A and B are shown apart, each in its own frame.
Chain A
């Protein structure tokens, strides 16, 4: 099995996720984009583990899936809270942490 096609697919996955994160405005879509990026990374890890004949890649991916699940739970909760408390569903509505405009 050659490495290159898998890496290309992983890079495509990562780029799709990245463009979703950068271009979509809805919070849920941003989260989904992050998940897609994770998958691209995970695919790279598995492919590399296969390439060098070690189990490390697969172990890493299992950890990654677990951590992603946990992260997603927390992130969804934050999105829910943002909706409830701030009424925000889109990224640009969350601008509390910014520098104040100049007084003059």
Chain B
């Protein structure tokens, strides 16, 4: 299998190339081509699963990228089990979203561009996950960042969308820079960038604590930027201006989890410094409460989901921070399933209401779209982590339970998780009830879901419920497949004692149910137009974080730029610098121009004068 690993990233890359070069010939088949390319990739991933599921890591070196002395970064692929999880999500969910997109985007003006970037994105994500060294990872990291930018601004004809794309790009750039710095520091100390060699070298000769601390903080900043955690979370809610399918693939299922992957990849280093690890958990814990609180005041159906994504990734960071790496990855998989489902279904709902995103205008959709209602309910249950019957319960509550036994700050992290669980139940069911129940404010358009859209939704709905059953809470007489499967690479999560664990689990379940129950009266009040959560401006605007950044960073920056433009650019460079250069050039040209006047006698005279001067010089 090792020698065929290249097929996995190469196939969507080829799709992107074909779409870029011959897209105009394909007419309406772009979607089909793109889908097939991802399907090939997914097939190759299945082959990896069948071939021992990467029990021993698979390696393939494609070729040496560049050669500088003894340093030879190469295009090398590595598939261990962490990677296998990531590429399964990227290709599996990616395939379903491609399939869904064929009909969803069929009348779009940028169809070819859309599928080009979607394929390129999948290729980038696969490179990111399969890279064997940090430099190759960085290539994928930047590639997905580029595609994210391009797809957020997909409907670029509206000014606001292009602005959102730029915002996402600029904000994530902070994290990208941090990752680049990590690469520089690590290389300066160890002269290698491939994971195995690097981690072995660090274990053998540890860095001094200042450098190690810098590296760990920078890795966290990189992950926070990509995964939209506090304080760099502001780009994700605005990223919702892209098509819903893009939000499903990039801003829910795959790219935003790259930060989780990065930290999981660096877990040997975080293991060396538990305080730093707790910092990761704290970042996740605070983010998840923050985002969940913002989530239930939003009117825009996609912004609710955007904040819920930030919140759910916060849970993953919480899992990483307590050393429950395998549970974080588990939640990543579950989240990818239900969140892409919710985003795609929301895309359909927005279509039904003629591009109206406001959930206060919706209602009673359950009668018109039964299938949509049931799949949405499955996704919502999983997002809210309804006990026993949803996958979210088995992944999220496992993290919350494990947080209790975390080496540092355990009860605090656990409490943050519980508060988040209540809030999650509230905003999820507020969303669900407002959209699907009650009396319709506006009548939705009649629309029959095509099969190629219904099938991916149904598959994801089934997964949102069933995928949790691979890892039941510990001590339950039921399958425990996930954690032992990853134990060799990621270790086992911390576990509270048996009795405590049961109580914690019950508390978590009650918190979720409590949240769901609170949602009903809230929605009732909101429908009557009374004071409810929907009109709290503080939460609606995300704690005014955007305004804060606007005043602290954006405006001073623009001021600086304008000042530089006026003083340095216009006065100094234009007037003095460029002015003198162009002035002397013009003077020279005018002089030469005068000599070329076409009078033969002048030429002859100058000729003679020249000859006379030469003669005078010679004698």
A residues sitting closer than 8 Å to B (CB atoms) are 18, 21-23, 25, 30, 91-92, 94-99, 101-102
**B590, B596, B604, most chain A CB atoms within 10 A:** B604
> Does B588 sit at the interface, judged by CB under 8 A?
no
7 A-B pairs in the complex with CB atoms less than 8 angstroms apart: A22-B601, A95-B598, A95-B599, A97-B598, A98-B596, A98-B597, A99-B597
Q: Hey, what's the 0/1 contact readout for B518-545 against A, CB within 8 Å counting as 1?
A: 0000000000000000000000000000
Once the chains bind, are B608 and A22 in contact (CB under 8 Å)? yes
Q: Could you say which residues of chain A place their CB within 8 Å of the CB of B605?
A: 22
> Does B600 sit at the interface, judged by CB under 8 A?
yes
Among A21, A22, A91, A102, contact of B593 (Cβ-Cβ < 8 Å): A102
Q: Could you say which residues of chain B place their CB within 8 Å of the CB of A94?
A: 598, 600
Min Cβ gap A99→B in Å is: 4
Once the chains bind, are B601 and A91 in contact (CB under 8 Å)? yes
Do most interface residues of chain B lie in helix, strand or loop, or is the interface mixed?
helix
A63–B592 CA distance with the chains assembled, in angstroms: 38
Among B598, B601, B604, B608, contact of A98 (Cβ-Cβ < 8 Å): B598
Q: Hey, what's the 0/1 contact readout for B577-619 against A, CB within 8 Å counting as 1?
A: 0000000000000101100111111001100100000000000
Once the chains bind, are B590 and A102 in contact (CB under 8 Å)? yes
Q: Could you say which residues of chain B place their CB within 8 Å of the CB of A91?
A: 599-601
18 further A-B contacts with Cβ under 8 Å, apart from A92-B599, A92-B601, A99-B593, are A21-B601, A21-B604, A22-B601, A22-B604, A22-B605, A22-B608, A25-B601, A91-B599, A94-B598, A94-B600, A95-B597, A95-B599, A98-B596, A98-B597, A98-B598, A99-B592, A99-B596, A101-B593
**B592, B600, B604, most chain A CB atoms within 10 A:** B600
A89–B549 CA distance with the chains assembled, in angstroms: 80
Min Cβ gap B604→A in Å is: 6
Among A23, A25, A96, A102, contact of B598 (Cβ-Cβ < 8 Å): A96
Q: Could you say which residues of chain A place their CB within 8 Å of the CB of B598?
A: 94-98
A95–B599 CA distance with the chains assembled, in angstroms: 6
Q: Hey, what's the 0/1 contact readout for B102-136 against A, CB within 8 Å counting as 1?
A: 00000000000000000000000000000000000
A94–B602 CA distance with the chains assembled, in angstroms: 13
**B590, B597, B598, most chain A CB atoms within 10 A:** B598
Contact A18 to B600, CB < 8 A, known contacts A99-B593, A102-B590, A102-B593: no
A12–B527 CA distance with the chains assembled, in angstroms: 116
A82–B605 CA distance with the chains assembled, in angstroms: 22
A95–B605 CA distance with the chains assembled, in angstroms: 16
Q: Could you say which residues of chain B place their CB within 8 Å of the CB of A96?
A: 598
**A-B pairs with lowest CB-CB distance, top 6:** A98-B598, A95-B598, A99-B596, A91-B600, A99-B593, A98-B596
A21–B607 CA distance with the chains assembled, in angstroms: 12
* A95 to chain B: closest residue by CB: B598
A96–B600 CA distance with the chains assembled, in angstroms: 11
A91–B604 CA distance with the chains assembled, in angstroms: 12
Q: Could you say which residues of chain B place their CB within 8 Å of the CB of A25?
A: 601
Min Cβ gap A18→B in Å is: 7
Min Cβ gap B574→A in Å is: 20
Min Cβ gap A81→B in Å is: 16
Once the chains bind, are B599 and A18 in contact (CB under 8 Å)? no
Min Cβ gap B588→A in Å is: 13
CB interface residues, B 72-126, toward A, < 8 Å: none
A98–B344 CA distance with the chains assembled, in angstroms: 71
A30–B601 CA distance with the chains assembled, in angstroms: 10
Q: Could you say which residues of chain A place their CB within 8 Å of the CB of B601?
A: 21-23, 25, 91-92
Min Cβ gap A17→B in Å is: 11
A97–B595 CA distance with the chains assembled, in angstroms: 12
A99–B589 CA distance with the chains assembled, in angstroms: 11
* B600 to chain A: closest residue by CB: A91
A98–B590 CA distance with the chains assembled, in angstroms: 13
Min Cβ gap A101→B in Å is: 8
Q: Could you say which residues of chain B place their CB within 8 Å of the CB of A18?
A: 608
Min Cβ gap A14→B in Å is: 11
